[in-house]
Amino acid sequence: MIWLNVLFLCVFFAVTIGIGIYARRHTKSVGAFVLGGRTMGPWLTAFAYGTTYFSAVVFIGYAGQFGWAYGMSAVWIGLGNAIIGSLLVWKVMGRRTRIMTKHIDATTMPEFFGKRYDSKGLKIAASAIVFVFMIPYSASVFNGLSYLFTSAFGLQKVQYGFEYCIIGMSVLTALYVILGGYMSTAINDFFQGIVMLVGVILVIIAIVHSAGGMMTAMTDLSKFSAPNTEMQGAYISFFGPEPLNLLGVVILTSLGTWGLPQMVHKFYAIKDEKAIRAGTVISTLFAIVISVGSYFIGSFGRLFVSADEITGSTGKLLFDQIVPNMLQKAVPAVLIAVVIVLVLSASMSTLSSLVLTSSSTLTLDFVNGNIVKEMPEKKKVLWIRIFLAFFILTSMVLAIYSYRTQNLYITKLMSISWGALAGSFLAPFLYGLFWKKVTKAAVWANFISGVGITVTHLILANGDIFGHSFKFPTNPYINLASPINAGAFAMIFGLILVPVVSLISPKLKKDVVDHAFEGYNIAVKANQDKYLGADEVV
């Protein structure tokens, strides 16, 4: 059935490139290329948010590894993604982000930090953090895609088959983002989101059917013993065998979206307040189906794949191969083509958002006004496209390196990226929308702590410090060596650090703060039926 896989891919590629060509007419200016002119409706924005959120990293990497480790309790990760990472972030940050960024004329997150806190240095530092730490995330998406493709097309034994898949995905991503910018990615995200919804539902049905039905699957899963607990039936228990480590994954993957530039960027571009309200509902429902569905699928990994099948030459478990192997055994051949397009859809939308965010940030916040003075609009768009190509090339090289060394698995790459980005940006961005007393020193302190915690943990986790071996102390309740727990800690630490430093450091100029917040006080016209009459006021 390889011919069917090829047919589905050709149709997908044709639609994707066609949308990129169509959207090219919307890329005359930087605002249009990066934000789509701030005219995105609720459906496009909500699907852009959801498809950026969930990619091969979730479906192949996280669902595989944590479905294997936690069993059915991994579904809590999906619920956290839907409630904290979608519903709450839209309710809390959506409206205020759009209003403040539009009022201070901020196109990117680093530009927000520069204007909100009156600091050119903060803008430059933030742009460097974005560009550097988005590369591991992009590499993890390339890896997820390539593991699925090599499995689906039987390329495991083909020399450089994995590398060919990565290169192909890189070229396709570069083509349609360079052509159409944000408008291209938003329209493609909607098309790809529909494919994802249909695909996940079909895969769930196929997996449960292959497992002999829900009750049989749960019974069989309960027979596996977990290595870190004496609990019987740990993999079908409410919180699973490792509840604290499970909590770390929920925090990283759910709260992390509040500080990720590629996610928050969606609120910059939405059309109006009405669109935000509708988008909140749409994105939450999307997350429930996609994220909960992905982890639900991954929780059955042990029923279809043995540990021996995913043990690499180094003796380590290759978690990234769990879902591809499971799909090959449990999903009918005709449905594999749908799965390929499903994961490709999820990943292409995420990749496009990552490369667009990183390249626009480096151009607008680092090069423009610092290296190149008074850059015209057309030249800005050209520089963004150049950095797009460079970012994709660098991510591709890292993805190939991680595959060959079998050391940087998908979840580790993503955890490094999310830990540094959200650990640096979440607290100062969130507090900056609501609290006037956040100081420049507090933002600097959080940037340093977010990157510092992530990089320090990464160095320690490698176990060799200036020639001296190092190992994290073993703990029966929480894995201290996990980059996921380190990233979750960086976010929570920042939420405490920013208000503490703000209370003891010099305040910002009053006119700078007042200007940032005055956008919330601008009067907006409304229809008469939006108001209560004088005698109706309660």
Alpha carbon distance 72, 93 (integer Å): 31
In a domain, 311, yes or no: yes
**What is the predicted pLDDT for the residue at 448?**
97
In a domain, 321, yes or no: yes
**What is the predicted pLDDT for the residue at 31?**
47
Yes or no: say if 131 and 361 are a contact pair by the CB < 8 Å rule: yes
C-alpha dist (Å) from residue 484 to 87, 99, 489: 22, 33, 9
In the beta sheet, which residues pair with residue 270?
40
- Number of Cβ within 10 Å of residue 510's Cβ equals 9
**DSSP-based three-state secondary structure for 522:** coil
Reading the block at residue 110, the tokens are: 């680093």
Q: What is the dihedral of CA 305, 307, 313, 314, to 10 degrees?
A: 140
Ranges under pLDDT 70 in the chain:
1-5, 16-17, 19-41, 56, 152, 154-161, 173, 175-189, 345-346, 348-349, 406-409, 463-470, 523-538
For 232, the domain range is 2-22+47-410
Tell me the CATH number at 298.
1.20.1730.10
User: How many domains, in total, are found in the chain?
Assistant: 1
456, burial (CB in 10 Å: exposed 0-12, middle 13-18, buried 19+): exposed
Q: What sign results for the dihedral spanned by CA atoms 53, 57, 60, 66? A: negative
In a domain, 528, yes or no: no
Reading the block at residue 98, the tokens are: 């759009």
Yes or no: say if 232 and 219 are a contact pair by the CB < 8 Å rule: no
In the beta sheet, which residues pair with residue 372?
368
Yes or no: say if 305 and 325 are a contact pair by the CB < 8 Å rule: yes
Alpha carbon distance 187, 342 (integer Å): 16
C-alpha dist (Å) from residue 75 to 236, 246, 248, 332: 11, 10, 14, 24
Written in H, E and C, the secondary structure of 45-57 is HHHHHHHHHCCHH
**DSSP-based three-state secondary structure for 327:** helix
In a domain, 304, yes or no: yes
Reading the block at residue 289, the tokens are: 């189906």
- Number of Cβ within 10 Å of residue 197's Cβ equals 19
Alpha carbon distance 86, 257 (integer Å): 8
* CA of residue 242 relative to chain centroid, distance: 24
SS3 content of the chain, % helix, strand, coil (to 5): 80, 0, 20
In a domain, 462, yes or no: no
* CA of residue 529 relative to chain centroid, distance: 40
In a domain, 251, yes or no: yes
Report the chain's C-alpha Rg in angstroms.
Answer: 23
In a domain, 41, yes or no: no
Yes or no: say if 350 and 108 are a contact pair by the CB < 8 Å rule: no
Written in H, E and C, the secondary structure of 479-502 is CCCCHHHHHHHHHHHHHHHHHHHH
In a domain, 529, yes or no: no
**DSSP-based three-state secondary structure for 40:** strand
